[in-house]
Amino acid sequence: MKHEPVIQTRGLTRYYGARAVVQDLNLEVPRGSVFAFLGRNGSGKTTTIRMLLGLVAPTRGGGSLLGCDIRALTPAIRARVGYLTEEHQLYGWMKVREMGAFQAPFYPRWQDKIFQGVIGHFGLKPEAKVKDLSRGQRAGLSLALTLAPDPELLILDDPALGLDPVARRSLVESMIYLTRRSDRTIFFSSHNLADVERVADQIAVLDFSVLRACCPLETFRSSVQEVQLRFAGAPPPLPNIPGLLQAFRTERELRVTCIHYNGETERALRQLSPLSLEILPMGLEDAFISYLGERGEKSFILADAEVAS
């Protein structure tokens, strides 16, 4: 039981008209992980999340959530999942305290201690009117309402969107607090790679509707590498390099980003007889950008005339 993934999809696919929004997705989210779901805007993250929750029907394929088929989720299963979206239903005329009291009866495992803890952490006053809250405070209230039912699986769709740095930090702290229970799983989408680096241990990368990576964060980071080659003159044309992501040439230098750099890659690069070959360490954000950026060779050289004009 413990080793059964909390989320699992097989060939999950969704079309809108003739356009595939999510294509053949095989995703596995281990129990107890903090799983970051990454990808550029429009890559299909939200549609995937909505399919996982049974809010959108898959065109093909399927999956399971806490062991239950996503096409037939029961209320009992839904009660064990916390879902936070941007458009969380908040009633402006209620007070913060009343929002909690209003939601509590719907959830058998509601814990007021968690609700109080989170609103306190975001600096919310229980007597404040919901309509007077700032964006960050509304996010804090939504998070409190999502966490108080003590969900086994927390699904957050871009929770950091539009939050200021202070509110974002409170969010990340709350996520870390949640990992105190090792059987709790967090699945969240985000564009903020600094937060991802802090909090996530697993990542999945969606690119143009297709899953391109699903692995521990460190595996992803260490498998993308940048190599700097120096030459006496203009760098020679680049042969076919296995795993090439991007190449960038300047006057006497070639910078090549590869995935799964190994002996074979190095031999291919050495054949260009560079003066030096150096592997440069890469941060998560750079690795992500090369991984999802346009493939192939680029140069950034503008003719002097163009710059001057």
Tokens for 225? 């590498």
Does residue 204 touch other proteins according to CB under 8 A?
A: no
Alpha helices in 224-282 (DSSP H): 263-270
CB nearer other proteins, residue 2 or residue 180 = 180
Find the shortest distance in angstroms from Cβ 197 to other proteins.
5
- E strands in the chain: 7-16, 19-25, 28-29, 34-39, 60-65, 68-69, 81-84, 153-157, 185-189, 202-207, 210-216, 224-230, 244-250, 253-259, 276-280, 296-299
> What secondary structure letter does DSSP report for 243?
T
Q: How far apart are CA 276 and CA 253, in angstroms?
A: 10
Beta strand pairing call for 7-16 and 60-65: antiparallel
Piece of 116-124, 132-140, 198-206, 236-244 that binds other proteins (CB under 8 A): 198-206
Residue 22-51 contact track with other proteins, rule CB under 8 A, x = bound: ------------x-----------------
> Please, which residue, 158 or 195, has the CB nearer to other proteins?
195
Q: Which is nearer to other proteins, 96 or 284 (CB)?
A: 284
- Which single residue is written with the structure tokens 């937060």? 195
Among the listed residues 86, 112, 164, 218, the single contact to other proteins using CB under 8 A:
218
Among 283, 295, 297, 299, binds other proteins (CB under 8 A): 283
By DSSP bridging, strand 153-157 and strand 81-84 are: parallel
Instruction: Note whether 145 and 103 are within 8 A (CB).
Output: yes
- Going by C-alpha positions, the residue among 265, 270, 229 that lies closest to residue 250 is 229
- Applying the rule CB under 8 A, the residues between 167 and 186 that interact with other proteins are 169, 172-173, 176-177, 179-180
Question: Per rule CB under 8 A, is residue 193 in the interface with other proteins?
Answer: yes
Contact flag: residue 252 with other proteins (CB under 8 A): no
Member of 79, 104, 128, 282 binding other proteins (CB under 8 A): 282
Assigned token pair, 48: 């995937």
> Could you tell me whether strands 202-207 and 276-280 are parallel, antiparallel, or unpaired per DSSP bridges?
unpaired
Residue 58 to residues 30, 54, 180, Cα–Cα distance (Å): 22, 9, 34
Based on the shown chain and the rule CB under 8 A, indicate whether residue 199 belongs to the binding site for other proteins.
yes
Which CB, 30 or 61, lies closer to other proteins? 30
The nearest distance, CB 116 to other proteins, in angstroms, is 19
Residue 105 is inside which H or E element, if any?
Answer: none
CB closer to other proteins out of 33 and 209: 33
Q: Determine, following the binding rule CB under 8 A, whether residue 284 of this chain makes contact with other proteins.
A: yes
Q: 109 vs 138, 164, 183, 250, 287, CA distance in Å?
A: 23, 31, 16, 61, 41
Give the footprint of other proteins on residues 285-304 (CB under 8 A): 285-286
Our CB check for other proteins shows the closer of 38 and 73 to be 38
With CB under 8 A as the contact rule, the residue among 24, 150, 201, 207 that binds other proteins is: 201
The three-state secondary structure class of 17 is coil
Q: Which stretch binds other proteins (CB under 8 A): 21-29, 74-82, 116-124, 191-199?
A: 191-199
Smallest distance, other proteins to C-beta of residue 54, A: 29
Q: Residue 65 corresponds to which tokens in the numbers above? A: 């959530």
Q: Which x/- pattern over 83-122 shows residues binding other proteins (rule: CB under 8 A)?
A: ----------------------------------------
Residues in touch with other proteins (CB under 8 A): 34, 169, 172-173, 176-177, 179-180, 193-195, 197-201, 218, 221-222, 280-286
